[in-house]
Chain A
């Protein structure tokens, strides 16, 4: 089975712009979660989607949003980018009956 894929792998954006990141889960996995990884804050949970519904949300401002499509693919959007949004954004998928999450390679976002 193919693993979790994320596109693009690298992005450079300017403050004030918005960005959309994409995640394709492992085939058959319906739960997709997003995490932000920074040197200062470490790995932090953003949100989780299951069957196109947000089930869980971390402590991030409303500029961070996401959605999930009927094929379980997910996107996250960050509007009005700030320098502090520079991070590695990781997507993870999980099958319905399991507890372990499998991560993609991440999207490295740099905000200048």
Chain B
């Protein structure tokens, strides 16, 4: 069965610093990969997605992610973090033919001013 792993439960960065959130997936074929963000008490907002093609994908709010097949990873990055980026971030995947999203456990991002 496919799975998604987010190794970091909590990450703290200073405002203006760069950010990288890790995500590893476990599946034989290339899955569809997503990053979502959730602010307290809110639903999930789609940041970006990867299906195929260019392995570096751009998303909203200045985020980008890079798909690396050799490492089974899909890490989320942002060059300069803003205090408003503090939230929980979820990596998710599904395989073609089904709409069931499998989520990682999430990474809680704290931004220090």
Contact = CB atoms under 8 A, between A and B. Distances in A.
Interface of A: 4, 6, 31, 33, 35, 42-43, 45, 48, 50, 55-56, 58, 90, 92, 94, 99-106, 108
Contact of B99 (A4, A31, A42, A103): A31
Contacts of B98: 56
Nearest to B44: A103
Contacts of A103: 36, 43-46
B99 A33 contact: yes
Contacts of B104: 42
23 contacts: A4-B43, A33-B100, A35-B101, A42-B104, A42-B105, A42-B106, A43-B92, A43-B103, A48-B100, A56-B99, A99-B32, A99-B49, A99-B51, A99-B94, A99-B96, A100-B46, A100-B49, A101-B99, A101-B101, A103-B43, A105-B42, A105-B43, A108-B41
Nearest to A104: B43
A43 B45 CA distance: 14
A105 B92 CA distance: 18
B89 interface: no
Contacts of A43: 90, 92, 101, 103, 106
A3 to B, nearest CB: 9
Nearest to A35: B101
Nearest to B45: A103
Interface of B: 32, 34, 36, 41-46, 49, 51, 90, 92, 94, 96, 98-106
A48 B106 CA distance: 22
A108 B102 CA distance: 21
Contacts of B49: 99-100
Contacts of B43: 4, 6, 90, 103-106
A87 to B, nearest CB: 13
